[in-house]
């Protein structure tokens, strides 16, 4: 009880009076905690949760024909939605993967289909070796954390925020993760852009 009170006060303190540096430190420690939490369960439980997330994604997105969706290559326990990539193509849509072209710049999206060559991007995350550079209609963004106002915490690169701010046509932004990643507030700042939808499933 007492510890919880102290932790809560530390959060409020970071938000209200000590500015950007304290907030950044708080976000960094929350990221570490939330990623460890995500990885604490079994791979089987994450895989089961991924298939529930995928089902809810299909319901949310509806028709895939003629639409471009940005997915991602999962790492560090993120939901594995790769089965949707081929499904999207089969339904007449286009699947894209995000590429970090440069730090502090928006992401690029390149088309990719199962079987096409991959290269290594930042953090060794696989990226399309070729592919066409296209803008997505739907962006599926993996969550490190999220809050009830649909704000998302990512890995701290600011990539999705910069990208959503820069795109000509604002895509439907869907955050995906697990229920254990929910926090009271990510303490949103002016640059933080909320998701349109969050799909988070409890790990079994
Ligand atoms: N699977 C997956 N692929 C993805 C993303 C993702 O979230 N998940 N990304 C979504 O964006 C991009 C990669 N995101 C990255 C975000 C931050 C850093 C990074 O270098 N972070 C700093 C820490 C920053 C800080 O905490 O202040 C570092 O590690 O030094 C690298 C890649 C593109 N591909
Ligand atoms: N549109 C933007 N323009 C300029 N700087 C930005 C923008 N969006 C984010 N940033 C900067 O990027 C840094 C990281 O932002 P933030 O903590 O929101 O990352 P994140 O959402 O967790 O990461 P990611 O989107 O890569 O998963 C911050 O220093 C922030 O000021």
Give 136 Cα–ligand 1 centroid separation in angstroms: 19
Confidence of residue 99 (pLDDT cuts 50, 70, 90): very high
Is 8 inside any structural domain? no
Which residue, judged by its Cα, is nearest atom 1 of ligand 2?
A: 162
Q: Is 122 in the pocket of ligand 1 (CB under 6 A)?
A: yes
Is 7 inside any structural domain? no
Ligand 2 contacts (CB < 6 A) are 27, 153-162, 165, 191-192
138-187 pLDDT, tens digit per residue, is 999 999 999 999 999 999 999 999 999 999 999 999 999 999 999 999 99
Is 6 inside any structural domain? no
pTM assigned to the model: 0.91
Give 87 Cα–ligand 1 centroid separation in angstroms: 26
Spatial distance between the Cα atoms of 35 and 194, rounded to a whole number of angstroms: 20
Confidence of residue 8 (pLDDT cuts 50, 70, 90): very low
SS3 for 63-122 is CCCCCEEECCCCCCCCCCCCHHHHHHHHCCCEEEEEECCCCCCCCEEEECCCCCCEEECH
Domain of 193, in residue numbers? 17-201
State how beta strands 145-146 and 68-70 pair. Answer: unpaired
Q: 15-23: long-range contacts (C-beta < 8 A, 24 or more apart)?
A: 15/187, 23/187, 23/189
Q: Is 142 in the pocket of ligand 1 (CB under 6 A)?
A: yes
Tell me what pLDDT residue 16 has.
52
Give 156 Cα–ligand 2 centroid separation in angstroms: 6
Mean pLDDT of the residues in the chain: 92
Which secondary structure element, helix H or strand E, spans residue 126, and what is its range? strand 126-128
Q: Are 154 and 160 in contact (CB under 8 A)?
A: yes
Give 54 Cα–ligand 1 centroid separation in angstroms: 23
Is 2 inside any structural domain? no
Is 4 inside any structural domain? no
Q: List the CATH number of the domain containing 24.
A: 3.40.50.10420
Is 164 inside any structural domain? yes
ipTM reported for the complex, 2 dp: 0.91
Spatial distance between the Cα atoms of 48 and 202, rounded to a whole number of angstroms: 10
State how beta strands 145-146 and 118-120 pair. Answer: unpaired
Is 9 inside any structural domain? no
Is 78 annotated as belonging to a binding site?
yes
Q: How many domains does the chain have?
A: 1
Pick from 78, 140, 144, 159 the residue to mutate for probing ligand 1's pocket: most ligand atoms within 8 Å of its CB. Answer: 159
Is 1 inside any structural domain? no
């Amino acid at each position: 009880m007492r510890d919880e009170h102290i932790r809560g006060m530390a959060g409020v303190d970071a938000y209200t009076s000590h500015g950007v540096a304290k907030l950044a430190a708080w976000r960094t420690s929350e990221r570490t905690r939330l990623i460890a939490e995500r990885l604490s369960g079994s791979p089987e439980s994450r895989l089961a949760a991924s298939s529930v997330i995928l089902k809810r994604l299909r319901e949310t997105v509806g028709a895939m024909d003629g639409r471009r969706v940005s997915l991602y290559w999962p790492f560090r326990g993120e939901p594995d939605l790769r089965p949707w990539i081929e499904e999207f193509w089969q339904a007449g849509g286009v699947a894209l993967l995000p590429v970090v072209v440069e730090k502090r710049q928006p992401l690029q999206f390149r088309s990719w289909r199962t079987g096409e060559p991959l290269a290594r991007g930042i953090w060794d995350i696989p990226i399309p070796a070729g592919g066409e550079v296209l803008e997505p209609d739907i962006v599926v963004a993996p969550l490190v954390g999220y809050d009830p106002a649909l704000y998302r915490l990512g890995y701290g690169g600011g990539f999705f925020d910069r990208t959503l701010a820069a795109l000509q046509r604002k895509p439907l932004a869907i955050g995906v993760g697990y229920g254990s990643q929910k926090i009271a507030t990510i303490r949103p700042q002016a640059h933080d852009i909320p998701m349109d939808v969050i799909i988070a499933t409890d790990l079994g």
